Amino acid sequence: MSEKNLEIQSFAYDHNGKRELLPHHSGVMRDAISVLSIVGIVVLVWEIIVRVQEIPSYILPAPSAIAQTLTGRAGDYITATLVTLGEALGGLVLGLAIGIAVATLITFWTHLERGVLALAILLKATPMVAIAPLLIIWLGFGPLPKVIITAIMTFFPVLINVHAGLHAVEGAQLSLLHSLNASRWEVFRYARWPSAQPYLFTALKVVAPLSLIGAVVAEWAGASSGLGRTMWLAYANLNLPALFAAVFCSAGMGITLYIAVLVLEKRLIFWNT
Amino acid sequence: MKVILHNISKTFNGREAPLPALAPVTLHIKPGEFICFLGPSGCGKSTLLRLIADQIEPTTGQIVLDGDTPTSTRQQKAIAWMAQNPALLPWQTVLENVRLPLQINRQHQRPAPTPHELLDMMGLMDFASAYPGTLSGGMQQRVALARTLTTGAPLWLMDEPFAALDALTRETLTGEVLHLWKKFHPTVLWVTHDITEAVHLADRIVVMTARPGHIRGIVTLSQPRPRDETTMEIAQKIREVRHLLRNREQPVTGEPT
């Protein structure tokens, strides 16, 4: 009886009077508990191994030591994280804009497709580790080279996915638009662009965490601030607790960005059942 | 709209050899007539409809729609197209979907009921702001039907529009189509493989057979609608249609020697 009541409560009626399934609050709680307990166990095992084996902190610091570093220099880490996040988001926005623009371009002018894709693959295959110092020589230690490197790393998955999405329109929808004599622009506006949205979000899930890696790699090559610089300094001094602290900041931001993408996807692509 | 098909045929470029899909077909259709093209799959009936809809080009022959070409007719939004797939845009509401034909190719508009009137007519008013994904298959086709009417097109081309629906829903919707046809007097070209559906709807049933598709015979029905397939006259028409369909298959299924 009580179980049945629970089931009824987990449904709600939206404005169309249609019953829809709401996310279970107990489900969210259950996920959180599962994630926290697994992470907790890993951290605990890590701590125990370091203590029992008496591993020195310049080889592998204990989680407690990392936590101490983090809390002790919280202000520094927050500043560094914000700098890196800013560069990552700047590069991400630029990469998205370029990826979407190029995908749109080669959808309208299909004869450009092969040439443009070949160029994109060439750029994609270039190792960023080689490009990053060069850009820093050209553009200095400021945020600009970081934004550019992040953009180069992120635009390719966006281009490929959005391009696929723009061509994933149902044949029946194209027949309908053809029967109305829709222009190429109208086909794009009413069918292609909306069809590409789920594909764009698939790309975003890959590219949002990747943008942080782009920014950190670029900073590693030379920067006046940011998590990459913090990591590089810690590495040079064999200050492994500080290195790990910066890694955790970066990972935390990556997870946050990923979740933000998931939330946004759920709100915008509600029609894709 | 007066439809003249003169000797039209279609041969597709197959991978190895040319694929004749439709042998030359000649047919005259009067304005306001309800024509059903009936036959097994592969008999070229959908190809015929797509030729008239200007989706593909005929290999031979000529199609004249009120003295005009299919391309020019389509460009004036004078052809309403509907198929088995409702082709609704899932990111737009029911109302937006029904309004779509008015948003596109705006310089060609003709008198027609407004989207709101159409939703009301089709019993969809309560679902105006719903999204297609939340509707049943029957409701989705009802939305597609409403959308078909927004342009006020005098020619409706319908390629098995209700084939994917269950029998009861199909019956209800074909009833509604008849009602709308009486109200707006369009010329309807309706493709189906359902004999009962055809005898309920058509002024003339064009029976087609396969390989390559051609017209086997035409059955004319003058009985008033709604029709009852258990009456003598209609049962006789069904027998005629079956006879036409079966004739072709006898040599194929003949006894092995």
Is residue A273 in some structural domain? no
Give residue B248's pLDDT band: very low, low, confident or very high (50, 70, 90).
Answer: low
- By residue range, what is the domain housing residue A182? 64-268
CA distances from B189 to B147, B148, B202, B247 (A): 17, 13, 9, 24
Same domain, A107 and A220: yes
- The ipTM estimated for the assembled molecules is 0.90
Burial (Cβ within 10 Å: 0-12, 13-18, ≥19) of residue B10? buried
Q: How many A/B residue pairs have CB atoms within 8 Å?
A: 70
**Mean pLDDT (whole number) for B125-149:** 94
Closest residue of chain A to B88, computed from CA coordinates: A173
Query: Does residue A149 sit in the same domain as residue A258?
Result: yes
Task: Show residues of chain B in contact with A177, CB under 8 Å.
Answer: 104
Residue A190 has what DSSP assignment? I
A271/B81 Cβ within 8 A: no
CA A77 – CA A55 distance, rounded (Å): 25
Burial class (CB in 10 A: 0-12, 13-18, 19+), A137: exposed
Q: End of a domain among A36, A54, A72?
A: A54
Q: Residue A208 above 60 pLDDT? A: yes
* Residue among B55, B130, B132 minimizing CB distance to A178: B55
For the stretch B142-185, pLDDT in tens is 999 999 999 999 999 999 999 989 999 999 999 999 999 999 99
Q: Is the pLDDT of residue A242 over 90?
A: yes
Low-confidence winner among A45-54, A97-106, B136-145, B210-219 (lowest mean pLDDT): B210-219
Domain assignment of residue A45, yes or no:
yes
Q: Judge whether A104 is closer than 8 Å to chain B, CB to CB.
A: no
Say whether both A37 and A77 belong to one domain.
no
Show which of residues 26-65 on chain A sit within 8 Å of chain B, judged by CB atoms. Answer: none
CATH number of the domain encompassing residue A209: 1.10.3720.10
Instruction: Identify whether residues A28 and A135 lie together within a single domain.
Output: no
Chain A CA closest to residue B153: A180
Closest chain A residue by Cα to residue B103: A186
Query: Counting beta carbons within 10 angstroms of the beta carbon of residue A74, is it exposed (0 to 12), middle (13 to 18) or buried (19 or more)?
Result: exposed
Chain A nearest CA to B25, separation (Å)? 23
Region of poorest pLDDT, from A213-217, A227-231, A245-249, B246-250: B246-250
Nearest residue to B186 (alpha-carbon basis) of B146, B154, B223, B163:
B154
**Both A142 and A82 in a single domain?**
yes
Q: Which residue of B has its CA nearest to A186?
A: B104
Which of B75, B89, B127 lies nearest to residue A173, judging by beta carbons? B89
Q: Which of A54, A74, A97 is the last residue of a domain?
A: A54
The answer to whether position A191 is within a domain reads: yes
User: Which residues 106-125 of chain A have a CB within 8 Å of chain B?
Assistant: none
Query: Are the Cβ atoms of B126 and A17 closer than 8 angstroms?
Result: yes
| Neighbour-count burial of A47, counting CB atoms closer than 10 A to its CB (0-12 exposed, 13-18 middle, 19+ buried) | middle
**Cα–Cα nearest to A95, from A43, A167, A147:** A147
pLDDT value at residue B203: 96
Which band of pLDDT confidence, cut at 50, 70 and 90, is reported for residue A231? very high
* Residues A183 and A238 both lie in one domain: yes
Residue B134: count other Cβ atoms within 10 Å of its Cβ.
18
What percent of chain B has a predicted confidence (pLDDT) above 90? 80
Q: Which CATH architecture fits B3-78+155-249?
A: 3-Layer(aba) Sandwich (3.40)
Shared domain for A78 and A40, answered yes or no, is no
Domain ranges of chain B: 3-78+155-249, 87-153
Task: Tell me, yes or no, whether A91 and A49 share the same domain.
Answer: no
**How many domains would you assign to chain A?**
2
How far from A3 is each of A7, A9, A11, A19, A24, CA to CA, in Å?
A: 6, 10, 13, 19, 14
* Beta-strand relationship, B204-209 and B60-65: unpaired
Q: Are B227 and B199 in contact (CB under 8 A)?
A: yes
A37 and A152 inside one domain? no
Residues 6+ apart with CB under 8 A from A172: B83, B85, B86, B87
For chain B, the first-to-last Cα distance in angstroms comes to: 51
Q: Is the pLDDT at A113 greater than 80, yes or no? A: yes
Alpha helices in A126-226 (DSSP H): 128-139, 144-166, 171-179, 184-187, 193-220
